Chains A and B, each alone.
Chain A
Amino acid sequence: MSGHHANQANVIFSHDLPKTALDDETLKLREDKIKVAMIGLCGCWGCTLSFLDMDERLLTLLEKVTITRSSITDVKLIPERCTIGFVEGGVANDHDIEVLEHYRENCDILISVGACAVWGGVPAMRNQVSLTECLDEAYVSSVTRPKDQKPVIPHIEVPSITTKVYPAHEVVKMDYFIPGCPPDGDAIFKVLDDLVNGREVDLPTSMNRYD
């Protein structure tokens, strides 16, 4: 991944970690399946937990899809071109931008999943004040800051926070949206099942009504 951290020689990324090669049989089983990559940007992973709420239907899905990347392993890069990218969380730092860019380049279809991806969600509450004020509150004027030390805004080996939190579709084109905080497993299943079976995506109102 080119970008912010590329020139920091002593940083090891998850995608650089040694991998165990898969046996031929498993590889063969996956060959014809639809590849799905999942990523969590700035969110709480609640959407991934909802994904697991598909329960036994996950097994039905897995007959047709293989998950090449998921938030669970926290590997950010996609190993090969995927059909579907499942994006949870909004864009809150420069690393999120890079990852989302990478997903757009390497997935045919991107789905914005959950309130944070769809409109910024809880993290976007900080958009009401300036980033300077936010960081000041957290690292300078914070009552828990050790007063004998100079205030430090984290700036080494961590991504730079963006001026404001963006929904995914303000950064790259997103193809589908599943609203909810988090969306129900049913809603996630409906969208994935439609896509996997080549149907037009149709998320009925009953599945994303919360009042």
Chain B
Amino acid sequence: MKDSILRSILAEYPKDRAYLIDILVRVQEGDGHISDQSVQALAEYFCISPLDVKETISFYHFLHQQPTGKHIIYVADTVIARMNGYDAVLAALEQETGCALEETSADGLFSLFETACIGLSDQEPAILIDMIPFTQLTPAKVKSVIAEIRNGKTAEQITNPQGIDKTSLGYIENLVKSNIQECGPVFFSNKIKTEQILGEVCSRSPDDVISELTNSQLRGRGGAGFMTGLKWDICRRAEGEEKVIICNADEGEPGTFKDRVLLTKAPEQVILGMLIASYSVGATEGILYLRYEYNYLHCYLENILSDMRTQNLLGKNILGKKGFDFDIRVHLGAGAYICGDESALIESCEGKRGTPRVKPPFPVQKGYKGKPTIVNNVETFANVGRISEKGVKFYLSLGTANSSGTRLISVSGDVRQPGIYEIEWGITLDEVLEKVGAVDPKAVQISGPSGECVSAKLDGKRVFSYQDLSCNGSLMVFNSQRDILDIVRHYMQFFVNESCGICVPCRVGNVELLKKIQLFVDGKAVENDIEEIISWSKIVRSGSRCGLGTTSPKSIMQTIDRFPEIYRSKTAKQEGPLLRSFSLDEALEGYEKAKRELMPN
């Protein structure tokens, strides 16, 4: 990158390493990769070593150190895409662009990469071309899109021929569908009156606001289900002059897309939640951590933030209340599922690799730059806004005694109406399957690969609640024709790709588990492999630092429990001393090949 261009990018940000990833994303967008020369320049500018910059780059899927083609295409490789014609779409992409996966075409026009779920499971197969989404693809559609690009059009021009303003809702709804199938009392039903509600909140003491939240029994919607009121209370009491509010919009769990829809249809409600948090704990700094896969929401969100600044809903002395200062910046991710973990996310916000921290201390004690930090999910913040509007009684009237309120689920797979549903806690699996129009359901993956795989037959009466199925928002339905083993294999591959690698049990154990599941897929497994899977799973789950490793073996373990017949049908008896999985031919062919190549005569 030309020095002058880099300088002008750098000038847009404070001189603080925390902005490194935002800057790297800009360099990536400008050059198609981050050259050694740019690495050197950034290292000098931030007074860090070039290796420090490189290790940060190498962590994120969307940052490249090698030159790429003029247009970068990411294909979302998900189990749902694979059920909807992924193979044909990928073949068409390879054919039309003239490059295979992980390659750049000879004419330098395209680079093709696979990526994990991009939050569009209800409209797959989907791809990103220069970060612009193209959904519900077919080989014919691929052909025409690539032809248009060859004719000189940009992805932006193809998807937005009328030139709709990028900061408008119309722009986003033109790109991707929101697919809200059922809205309830908390989300999407009516637009929240931000100013009015914030005004009311400010008339009460922060302690009152927090105790109201505690009484509402709201629990975090990001996965762990921690009591939100308690989290805020700890943060309020934590020592530290400056406090930080972070909204976790990393939404990396395959099959989840409700945060995308919330940020599309009700961003003010989410921001209101952040504002209430800031008022409650006395935080001045806010960060919206937006996964780069949702980059097309960036301008739209920036515009809303800027409008709110104009209305004095963000900035200094908010709503005229002296000392109520709070502002929010959007921090882009750069492709890493693990950055959804709150402590990894904080590392990433500080401009580093997203390696989860050892806890304690927890973020509420020492988070972003060592300051007490609240990290909440997008949906959690959206709930807070509605609770403040309608009160605790209203909220407690929804759901069950121990799981109050409603939650959004992102539904995909073998269902007639994929999309977003607002369900009340307490509903059974059978009822949900009926609601979404499940077709011949056999297995249901609840909460994505890190969640629960249940059987439609055996678990139909189970209840969505924090005591039973504490769904994190993803629900994928698989009919009786689907290859469950292959789905589990795909999930394990996901964890292998996404492990940050800091702990050995997760880094190595998931690879072992993947190899094991592959043995079943290939029909080479023996009885002993089940036992070994179980002991590996125990090691990975008990010896890992963060939630990725403590959950990654769940889909294997649960399918062994729920669908033992599938594993049994793929298990053979071990005969003779050499394992069925050991290939003598493969073991010996390398030497023969080497001899042929090195001693041709």
Contacts and interface: CB of A to CB of B under 8 A. Distances in A.
Contact of A163 (B578, B579, B587, B599): B587
Nearest to A101: B577
A172 B587 contact: no
A200 to B, nearest CB: 14
A153 B579 contact: no
Interface string B565-598: 0000000001001110110101111111111011
A75 interface: no
Given A170-B579, A172-B577, A152 B599 contact: yes
B528 interface: yes
Contacts of A173: 528, 574, 579
Interface string B315-332: 000000000000000000
Contacts, number: 71
A171 B579 contact: yes
Contact of B591 (A139, A163, A172): A163
Interface in A101-117: 101-102, 104-105
A94 B588 CA distance: 7
A86 interface: no
B502 to A, nearest CB: 14
Contact of B587 (A97, A104, A150, A153): A97
Interface stretch (A9-17, A43-51, A130-138, A186-194): A130-138
A172 B587 CA distance: 14
Interface in A130-184: 130-132, 134-136, 139-140, 150-153, 155, 160-164, 166, 170-173
Contact of B584 (A97, A100, A134): A97
Say which size band chain B's interface belongs to: 20 to 34
A163 B574 CA distance: 24
Contact of A172 (B579, B589, B598): B579
Nearest to B596: A132
Contacts of B598: 132, 135-136, 139-140, 151, 153
Given A171-B582, A172-B577, A172-B578, A153 B588 contact: no
Given A152-B599, A171-B582, A104 B590 contact: no
Contacts of A136: 594, 598
Contact of B578 (A101, A150, A164): A101
Output the residue of B577, B584, B593 with the most chain A CB within 10 A. B577
Nearest to B574: A173
Nearest to B594: A132
B595 A130 contact: no
Contact of B586 (A139, A161, A163): A163
B590 A130 contact: yes
Interface string B110-151: 000000000000000000000000000000000000000000
Nearest to B587: A162
Contacts of B595: 153, 155
Nearest to B595: A153
Interface in A75-95: 91, 94
15 contacts: A94-B588, A97-B584, A101-B577, A105-B577, A135-B598, A136-B598, A151-B599, A155-B595, A160-B588, A161-B591, A162-B590, A163-B591, A170-B579, A171-B579, A171-B582
Interface of A: 91, 94, 97, 100-102, 104-105, 130-132, 134-136, 139-140, 150-153, 155, 160-164, 166, 170-173
Interface of B: 528, 574, 577-579, 581-582, 584, 586-595, 597-599
Given A104-B577, A164-B587, 11 more contacts: A102-B577, A131-B590, A134-B594, A135-B594, A139-B598, A153-B599, A162-B590, A166-B582, A166-B587, A170-B579, A170-B581
